[in-house]
Amino acid sequence: MLRTHTCGALTAQDLGKSVVIAGWVNKLRNLGGMTFIDLRDRYGITQVTYDPSVATFELPEIKSEYVLQIHGEVVARPENMVNPDMLTGAIELKPTAITVLAACKELPFSVDHENPVGEDLRLEYRYLDLRRKTMKENAIMRHKIYLETMNFFDQRDFLHLETPTFVKNTPEGSREYVVPARFEPGRFFVLPQSPQQHKQMLMVSGMDKYFQIARCYRDEDPRGDRQPEFTQVDFELSFVEQEDIMTLIEDYFNHMNHKFFPERKVKSEPFPVMTWQIAMDLYGVDKPELRVDNFEFKEVTARANQSDFKLFQESECVKALVLPKELGRSEIEKKYETFIKSFGAGGLPWLCLSEAEGVKGSIAKFFSPEQIEELKKLTGAATGTTILFQAGSWLKTCELMGKLRLEAIKQLNLLAGKEDELAFCFVVDMPLFEEGDDGELGATHHPFTKPKDEDIPFVKMLGNKLAKGESLTADEKKQLLSVKSDAYDIVLNGYELGGGSIRIHDTELQHAIFSLLGLTEEQIQVRFGHLLKCFEYGVPPHGGCAFGLDRIVMLYQKMENIREVILFPKNQKYRDLMLNAPSDIDASLLQDLGLTILPTEKN
């Protein structure tokens, strides 16, 4: 070994020992003829003091981030130089030999402090970025959570079972990354979006408790906080109901909280459970931020319909959000109206209950004093507050109000003092289907999610109807969109950590779902025939869930995005700046794969 101790190991108990340490020069200081070297590795920093008046060797040329091996004696620091904040703060090393193991070019950015650096530059030199304290701590915590996840499931009789990385193209929502099969020209594997079908087949095989920390891939359009490849904690169980899995999920997160973050307070235990309908009605999102108390929006449709404001009179739904601050027109336009219009809102009606000016706002003239009093009772608004409104269809109104609520939390700094709070909740009973912009039905979660028991006969009936070539009536489609699923999401501080469901284990029901999603019999057999075949051989009732490991680490470490907790992420345009990928490949390889690159028109 080139070292006897790490740079974070030596303490006052090691005084007088001859040791060898190795690492990077974190700081180099020359003071009064003395040279102080702070030598760093991932374990810590040790101060080395070179005194030319007593040294028996000449100090070699040393610069920041040079890699050194240093032999020396552990001695006590002078009393006035003891640093109680460092593991090694009571000692220093008196060197007897210093060897330069590697030099270092001038750095593109400093790594010994946390000064802001452009993200693309950090990603191009990620190996340097990972030397920084915060990045090192993120990597270590990710390792700890990964290892403890393995232990958690192992201690509960789960088996860690690996599923394939090359799988069949069976679209489940997102686009898939394609892998050409050289030995069968014109045919392809894809990289898995999740191990979903394999883990269900494992339930059929009798492996009743499966888990895996799996790499997953989705060819989605670049979006701020997404990555084309990510890691998820994936698990599945047989002979369980929804409550069993939710209890396991809560146990998992409480275990992680107590193990690694005991100083962070969990807002509510047991974790609150709310339906998707309530989450949308009160917060406008299916992943509500619950750290801010008494900041839900209110249903005011009946009262608003009676006002003289035409938009409110004609709207199916009117919602109101009370901000605990008086705002004027210019501030509302600048901070909120421009913001909400960017999401398709027609405008932002508002009222301010001003202490000095009374009731004012863009729609003040449309409400009588009596109606204002009734609005105050409905919303809890008082003098010194401002009320923001949205109106329209129920879902669109809720979604817009949800965006306004989150923006108000940010603008009003309502999370101040709550940064360490952990507000978990479950959201359950999501719609089984959603309607796309083209009017076609899609699976809200995925096509293997079981509907509520009371809706199964209806779903089967409509699926069989479509399989016979008939069409759904408008009323049938409307009723189908109201069917709820046995699904559940786990949410923390406004982020979805993971989602799962009880799965379909009835071949007829699974076939009906595929038909309702617009698949023909031929498409069903080509894409999912293997699953339906498997389901003919005794399928246990089963369900599961998957957590995003990247997001879990991000939230526990209080980072702004998941790129901060992934060692080698892609940038926001999904490029690997360190390797300069994606890149061209040799024409000979394309020929071997039977592929041709078609020219594309440039804008």
* Cβ contact 477:509 at 8 Å: no
CB 391 within 8 A of CB 349: yes
Q: Using one digit for the tens of pLDDT, what is the confidence trace for 34-89?
A: 999 999 999 999 999 999 999 999 999 999 999 999 999 999 999 999 999 999 99
- Which pLDDT belongs to residue 603? 56
Two domains, one topology: 133-239+548-588 and 292-414: no
The H-assigned helical ranges of 5-58 are none
173 Cβ contact partners less than 8 Å away, ≥ 6 residues apart: 193, 442, 443, 446
Residue 180 main-chain phi, psi, to 5 deg: -65, 140
Read off the pLDDT of residues 445-497 as tens digits, 9 standing for 90 and up.
899 999 999 999 999 999 999 988 899 999 999 999 999 999 999 999 999 99
**Residue count (the chain):** 603
Give the integer Cα–Cα distance in Å for 450 and 455: 10
Query: For residue 174, is pLDDT > 80?
Result: no
| pLDDT of amino acid 114 | 84
Kindly report which listed range (134-143, 228-237, 510-519) carries the lowest average pLDDT score. 510-519
pLDDT in tens, 192-227: 999 999 999 999 999 999 999 999 999 988 776 789
State in words which class domain 292-414 has.
alpha beta
CATH number for the segment(s) 17-102: 2.40.50.140
More confident residue, 443 or 174: 443
- Residues 263-272, mean pLDDT to the nearest whole number: 96
Q: Given CA atoms 359, 365, 369, 370 in this order, what sign does their dihedral have? A: negative
CATH topology of domain 133-239+548-588: BirA Bifunctional Protein; domain 2 (3.30.930)
Residue 113 has a pLDDT of: 82
Residue 17 scores a pLDDT above 70:
yes
Average pLDDT of every residue of the chain = 94
Each residue's pLDDT tens digit, 534-581:
999 999 999 999 999 999 999 999 998 999 999 999 999 999 999 999
First-to-final CA distance of the chain: 58
pLDDT of residue 225: 75
pLDDT at 112: 84
Element (H, E) at 91: strand 91-102
SS3 of 536-603:
CCCCCCEEEEEEEHHHHHHHHCCCCCHHHHCCCCCCCCCCECCCCECCCCCHHHHHHHCCCCCCCCCC
CA distance 127 to 125: 5
pLDDT of 171 strictly over 80: no
Confidence label for 105 from pLDDT (cuts 50, 70 and 90): very high
Does 173 score more than 80 pLDDT? no
The two structure tokens encoding residue 155: 């201690």
Q: What residues contact residue 589 under an 8 Å CB cut-off, 6+ apart? A: none
pLDDT, position 338: 95
Domain ranges (residues) in the chain: 17-102, 133-239+548-588, 292-414, 424-539
Q: Which value, to the nearest 10 degrees, does the dihedral of the CA atoms of residues 187, 192, 196, 202 take?
A: 70
Q: Give this prediction's pTM.
A: 0.93
Sheet strands (E) in 324-432:
350-354, 358-360, 385-392, 424-428
Structure confidence at residue 115 (pLDDT) = 86
CA-CA-CA-CA torsion for 484, 490, 495, 498, nearest 10 degrees? -90
Which percentage of the chain shows pLDDT scores above 90?
89
Q: What is the per-residue pLDDT for 602?
A: 65
Give mean pLDDT, residues 513-538. 93
DSSP string, 103-121: --PPPSS-SSS-----HHH
Average pLDDT over residues 303-320: 92
**CATH code linked to domain 424-539:** 3.30.930.10
